[in-house]
Amino acid sequence: MKDEKLLKLLRLMMKNSRLSDRELAKRMGSSQPTVTRTRAKLEADRYIRSYTVVPDFEKLGYKIMAFTFSKMASYPSREDAVEVMKQASRWVTERPNVIFASDGQGLGGKDVVMISLHKDYDDYTDFMRTYALDWGQIVASFENFMVSIGSKFKMKSLDLKYLADES
């Protein structure tokens, strides 16, 4: 199957991952065994990393989505930087409310971003206090942007299905 068909299958699955291989084959104009093999290839090549749902976070009890932008202090050596990244990976992995964390750049020299969900403001402040205490020696500064998940002025809900329509 060509790359364009591979991507077409991936897009169909991004819109609705619950479709059976038979239904996907019908929509693609190919056979079910071809779709099954292609799905397996997408999984093996890590185009598909997991199957999950994007829930309604508010119905799960979350009220705040926080974007935390941090500026790391300079590292004395490459080895120290690698060790810090390992510690940071462990720290965010231990916190299931952190849904994304990565290095990056922007916003006045910030070089780390973290997205986290919180049940309420107290939960958020406890989380940020722990972050500041645990990382205060390594993080030079951080800024936050909080989103009220239940906001009535939401232009577009968080969902990955929209990427399926990108050319």
What sign does the CA torsion over 49, 91, 145, 150 have? positive
Instruction: Look at residue 167 in the predicted model and tell me its pLDDT.
Output: 57
Task: Convert the pLDDT of each residue in 65-88 to its tens digit.
Answer: 999 999 988 777 888 888 888 999
Q: How far is CA 121 from the centre of its chain?
A: 22
Task: Indicate the pLDDT class of residue 105, thresholds 50, 70 and 90.
Answer: very high
Q: How far is CA 51 from the centre of its chain?
A: 13
Both tokens of 119, joined, read 């049940």
Contact 138, 150 (CB under 8 A): no
Task: Convert the pLDDT of each residue in 126-153 to its tens digit.
Answer: 999 999 999 998 999 999 999 999 998 9
Task: Convert the pLDDT of each residue in 35-67 to its tens digit.
Answer: 999 999 999 999 999 988 889 999 999 999 999
Angstrom distance (rounded) from CA 9 to CA 103: 31
Contact 147, 64 (CB under 8 A): yes
Which domains does the chain show, CATH number per domain?
3-44 (1.10.10), 64-148 (3.30.70.100)
Does 25 score more than 80 pLDDT? yes
Contact 75, 137 (CB under 8 A): no
Paired with 61 in beta bridges are none
Angstrom distance (rounded) from CA 1 to CA 167: 19
Both tokens of 58, joined, read 């508010």
Composition of the chain by helix, strand, coil, percent to 5: 45, 20, 35
Average pLDDT, the chain: 92
Does 1 score more than 50 pLDDT? no
Angstrom distance (rounded) from CA 35 to CA 16: 15
Q: Look at 4 and 130; give whichever has higher pLDDT.
A: 130
pTM of the predicted protein model: 0.85
Q: Look at 166 and 9; give whichever has higher pLDDT.
A: 9
